[in-house]
Amino acid sequence: MIALSFPDIRLTTAKLFVQDDFDSFLVSEISLTTLCTFQIDGRIAADYFNSDEFAALPDQDLVSWKLLRPFLYQLIRGNRLPGQFRIVFRLAGYNVEKFLKQTGLPYSPADIGGLFMNLRYADKRLSCYTGTSLNVFDLSKNLDREWDRMVQSFLHQRQIPFEME
């Protein structure tokens, strides 16, 4: 696990809420405070979709940021940032497979409980915390190290400046 901070909050939140930089991630949960606090559980309500729409979703358990982002943008748009927000992103299953192939780690996708990126805005600071979950017992920290590197690479590729905390 690593902790990162974003010195350019305006740029980072624009990439988060306006642009598509984070659209490939799934959303586990969100807490957002504007005029009140909104709590969002990222689990998909399957009954909301028709069968074709549901089949087209990249993951049938959690909603993608791409689908949720426009709703959140409507909640926060204006001249000021929310009082606070916390977004727990999870790497989608198809990207977990790509990640494992790229890194050469000895896990199957079923071994991975989740690869997480937690964004938190509070007290006029925006931070990111990485996290991993394994479904198998392993004392090595190889998965953590590779995921931390992947998150940093993701941010570099999208030209989002960050600092190690």
Paired sense of beta strands 63-64 and 25-33, if any: antiparallel
pTM over 0.85: yes
Return the C-alpha torsion angle 157, 161, 164, 165, nearest 10.
-140
CA-to-CA separations, 141 to 111, 115, 136, 145, 150, in angstroms, rounded: 14, 13, 13, 6, 14
Residue type at position 71: F
Q: Rounded to an integer, what distance in angstroms lies between the CA atom of residue 144 and that of residue 108?
A: 15
31 pLDDT more than 80: yes
Confidence of residue 126 (pLDDT cuts 50, 70, 90): very high
Domain ranges for the chain, please list them.
3-164
Burial class of residue 74, CB neighbours in 10 A (0-12, 13-18, 19+): exposed
Mean pLDDT to the nearest integer, 4-10: 97
pLDDT at 8: 97
Q: Rounded to the nearest 5°, which phi and psi values hold at 105?
A: -70, 145
Condensed to tens digits (0 to 9), the pLDDT of residues 140-155 reads 999 999 999 999 999 9
pLDDT at 53: 85
Chain-centroid distance, C-alpha 82 = 18
Condensed to tens digits (0 to 9), the pLDDT of residues 43-98 reads 998 888 888 888 887 777 999 999 999 999 998 887 777 999 999 999 999 999 99
pLDDT at 80: 74
Mean pLDDT to the nearest integer, 101-107: 95
